[in-house]
Amino acid sequence: MALIGIMGGTFNPIHLGHIRLAQAAYEQYHLDKVLFMPSGDPPHKRQEEVVTAEHRMNMVKLAIKGISYFQPSSMEIDRKGYSYTCETLRELHKKNTQDELYFIIGADSLFHIESWYQPDKIFSQCILLVANRDDIPIDDFQKQADYLKQKYQADIRLIHTPMMHISSTDIRKALDDNELTEDDHVNPQLLDSNVIQYIMEHHLYEHNSGK
């Protein structure tokens, strides 16, 4: 039996917060590997804000290159139609029924997960590893976790990690109408240098290009 972490998301673009969260989950729960899985057609995102799946997957590969226990997965990109977490978990279980799946999320997702497609089937197929955020009081976080545990018999566990105030949305806003350069002193703190170079070469996120 393998312990498989799943780091899903739009990754538009992938940033160092994603990487450090996955590393913390891997180390604290002794996972065998973590799958980085860009969503193909996310039902909750406006498509004009999302660059192509090819670009997002290429950036994921660059960001995790050299980390042996990280692995890119195109499962959701290859699936036609919307990408739903419960279906992804079902497919992974079909591939190996003995694997134990750990779905890695931030605390903000914990408060919205009931709006996801078939949340009961998500809880029944995986262990949730959740990183809290500084702007969410620990009491509120624990109350939400306890509520979901009671209602769905969910297995929810906390990831202890320093909070990084990084979001893909903020990164895109910073890039909009500005050309990203290597001289920018902020971006290297947010993005892998190879991802920065890729964004520059392909002129992503300039003027909301949506390329």
| CATH number for 45 | 3.40.50.620
Question: Domains in the chain: how many in total?
Answer: 1
Identify the pLDDT of residue 47: 53
91 falls within a domain:
yes
HEC string of 87-139 equals HHHHHHHHHCCCCEEEEEEEHHHHCCHHHCCCHHHHHHHCEEEEECCCCCCHH
In a 10 Å sphere around its CB, with 0-12 CB exposed, 13-18 middle and 19+ buried, how is residue 93 labelled?
A: middle
Q: Is residue 177 part of a domain?
A: no
Question: How do the pLDDT tens digits run along the chain, 211 residues long?
Answer: 999 999 999 999 999 989 999 999 999 999 999 999 999 865 555 555 789 999 999 999 999 999 999 999 999 999 877 889 999 999 999 999 999 999 999 998 999 999 999 999 999 999 999 998 777 888 999 999 999 999 999 999 999 887 666 677 777 776 765 544 555 444 556 889 899 889 889 988 876 544 4
What was the pLDDT predicted at 190? Answer: 81
Domain residues for the domain of 11 are 3-164
Model pLDDT, residue 41? 67
CA diameter of the chain: 51
pLDDT (0 to 100) of residue 82 = 80
pLDDT score of 83: 82
| Within-domain flag for 210 | no
Instruction: Check residue 137 and give its pLDDT.
Output: 86
Contact between 180 and 199 (Cβ < 8 Å)? yes
Is residue 198 included in any domain, yes or no? no
Whether residue 108 lies inside any domain: the answer is yes
